[in-house]
Amino acid sequence: MTGKTRCAAFISGRGSNMMALVEAAKVPDFPAQFVLVVSNDPAAGGLEWAAGQGIAAVAIDHKLYGKDREAHERAIDAVLEQHGVEFICLAGYMRVLTPWLVEKWQGRMINIHPALLPEFKGLHTHQRCLDAGHDRHGATVHWVSPGVDEGDIIAQAEVPVLPGDTADMLAARVLVEEHKLYPAALKAVTSNLTKI
């Protein structure tokens, strides 16, 4: 395991992208390993799955911190430090991060977004794509920056929008690509990280 970048995944739900990352990282020559999964929701289904994989799975409930988002993130950051985390993958984490955490982890945190950025930042991307009448949609892996979904793009995957598509049908088609795109992007960026 030496020489592999120690990663944490942040989730808020079932964590299907986290699962795809963890499975990809099991390949011996993959340059990253997952040592921690963090959720802001104790009921997130992905926590149990991660624990079953032998990965530390920690819930830090944002509700316990009221409106103090930075206090919540400082608690998360302390857990990251305890586990020697070097890199963060946001994988369906439904909280907007404060500038404090983003700046601390600048260049060491990536996100996957279910749209072809810069189109359709934010939520409900699949329905918005259909409403706009686009003939293509997809997913983007990008560096996390202080602006929501505004960081530099690392990689994208495109899918066609088909006649009769619903938002759910389009979401399912995009998710298949997300599960390939995110591990490939993580491999690319962690292959280029300087190992001390």
Catalytic residues: 113
- DSSP-based helix, strand, coil % in the chain, nearest 5: 40, 20, 40
Give the Cα-Cα-Cα angle 153, 162, 151 (nearest 5 degrees).
10
CA 90 – CA 17 distance, rounded (Å):
9
**Quick one: how far is CA 2 from the chain centroid?**
24
Q: Which of 169, 165, 139, 171 is nearest to 154 (CA)?
A: 139
CA 144 – CA 65 distance, rounded (Å):
23
CA 35 – CA 17 distance, rounded (Å):
16
Q: Which of 4, 1, 7 is nearest to 108 (CA)?
A: 7
Instruction: For residue 163, give both structure tokens.
Output: 């006649």
Instruction: For residue 28, give both structure tokens.
Output: 């011996």
